[in-house]
Structure 1
C-alpha cells in the first residue's frame, strides 16, 4: 500500500508506537516503521521531537515532498483545552498523499494539557507565554513559568523549528475566531483568512502577548509564523473535511486522489 516511505540514514527500526525507553535517548531522531503499510499514504516520516513534563511524546508527522523549498510546520493543541483543531492535522496525516509542499504536522503540542483537559501543561505553565522573546513573569491564566524556556515542551519545539526552519508556521488555537494579520507576512495572513473562511483580526492578548511562540519564531527566523483561531465549537465537518482542504490551498499544495 505504501511505497513512498522516505527514511533518513539515522532512522532506527522501531515499532510505530515507540516506547519512552526506545525514544528518549534521541528524541529528535526519525522513527522508522517495521510495517510501512500501516501508515497513511500522506506520511513520509514520523519524529518524536521531545517529551512533555509527564514524559508523553510530542510527535511530528511529515507529509508532502521532502526537499520542497516550501516547507511548513502546523501546530495544534498548544493549549490542552483547545481540542478541536487537532482534527485538521489528523485529517491531513490520515488522508491522501500531499503534493506541492514539505509539511510537518504536530497535532498535540501539549500532550499533558490535552490529557488533563487544561490550557496549561502539567506544571501549570501556559506554553504560549514561555518562549524567550519578550518573556515576562506572568501569573494566573497566563502563567509564564519560572523563566523563559523553562518547560520541556517549549525546548522541544525550539529545537525542532531550528532544525526544520520552515517558510511558514501556522499555529491553530481557539476560540477567538479569526486570523492574526498583524504579523510578519500580512499578505499571507490575509490569504489564510480568506481560504479558511475566517475574519481578519489583530490579536493583542489584552496586553499579555509576551513570550509567545509566533513572536519568538518571527524574531529569529526568515520564515513567518501566524496564529489562526477557530471558534469554541467548530463542526466536525469543518475540521475534518473543509479546513484541511482550505489549508492546503492556502499553502499552494494539494492532495493526490
Structure 2
C-alpha cells in the first residue's frame, strides 16, 4: 500500500469515526490523516482535522484546521480547558463552522477538557486542574486547583504539549471564564494583547489567580516557545451576539485573517 493510499484510508476512517462518534485513530494513523480531511459543505472553513490525543476516559481531543497551510502566521485557539467554562466553545465553533478563512494557518480546539465538559466540572476525570498541571512553575496544589501528582501527569496535558511543540504557533489564544479581561501579566507581546483586547471589547487586566497561577499552559508555552500564548477571560454570561459575531470577528481582525463568503 502506497503512502498516498494510506493517507486516504486513514482520512476516510477518521471522517467516518467523527461522523458516527466511534473511537478515532491514534498514533501513526492519526498523523497520516492529519491534513487529509477535505472541507465539507457543512464546514467549508475546515481544511483538516487532527486527533491530538485522548482524555482520561478515552475521548478524542480534536483540532480543526482552517485558513491556509503555509501562511506566515499560525494560531491555535482553544476553549473549555476547564469543563465548567464553556461559553467560548461558541466562539471556536463559529470560526470552525463559518465561511472559509484566509491569511492565517488556524487551528481550532473547541473542547480541550472533554471529560470535564461532559460533567461541567473544572477538572478532568481524575480531578486534576489541567491549567495547573504543566511543567513550568508547577506546585503541589490541592482542592479546586489540584495540580496532579506530578507535572504533566495527565494525558490531556501531554497531548497539548506534543501538539503545540509540533505546530509551534506564533500565537495561542486560550479562553476561560468568568473574570472578563485579557491577561497582560508578564506579556511577551503587549501590542498583540492590547490589539486583541480592543478588538474583542475586553479590558486589559493583571490576573493573578489569587496566588495559585502555577503550572499553567501559557506559562509553559511562553517559556518554551518563541510564540506568545495569552489567556482571554470572558464574563459569566456573554451574549449570543458577542460569542457568534463580536468575538470571532475581533479575533480574526487581530490575527490578520478574513472570511470569504461564497460568490452569489
Q: Which residue of 2 aligns with 1:23?
A: 25
Structure 2 CA distance for partners of 1:45 and 1:124, relative to 1, 3 Å: same
Bigger Cα displacement from structure 2, 159-168 vs 176-185: 176-185
Of 116, 123, 128, the residue aligned with 2:131 is 128
Aligned residues: 250
Residue 223, structure 1, aligned to residue 260, structure 2: no
Q: Which residue of 1 aligns with 2:175?
A: 172
Report the alpha carbon displacement of residue 28 of structure 1 after superposing the two structures with TM: 4.7
Distance 2:5 2:128 in 1: 35
Deviations 1:16-42 (A, max 9, x none): 252665513447523544x85354110
Q: Is the 8 A contact 2:24 2:51 kept in 1?
A: no
Distance 2:54 2:23 in 1: 12
Relative to its length, the structure with more helix (as a share) is 2
Structure 2 CA distance for partners of 1:22 and 1:108, relative to 1, 3 Å: closer
Deviations 1:69-103 (A, max 9, x none): 20000010000000110110000000000011000
Structure 2 CA distance for partners of 1:68 and 1:9, relative to 1, 3 Å: farther
- 1:170-209 pair list within 5 angstroms: 170-182=173-185, 183-209=187-213
Q: Is the 8 A contact 1:28 1:50 kept in 2?
A: no
Q: Which residue of 2 aligns with 1:3?
A: none
Q: Is the 8 A contact 1:64 1:97 kept in 2?
A: yes
Distance 1:169 1:85 in 2: 14
Distance 1:151 1:196 in 2: 32
TM-score (norm 2): 0.90
TM-score (norm 1): 0.92
Q: Which residue of 2 aligns with 1:14?
A: 13
Of 45, 49, 54, the residue aligned with 1:51 is 54
Cα RMSD for the two superposed structures = 1.9
Distance 2:5 2:196 in 1: 32
Structure 2 CA distance for partners of 1:83 and 1:27, relative to 1, 3 Å: farther
Distance 2:117 2:140 in 1: 24
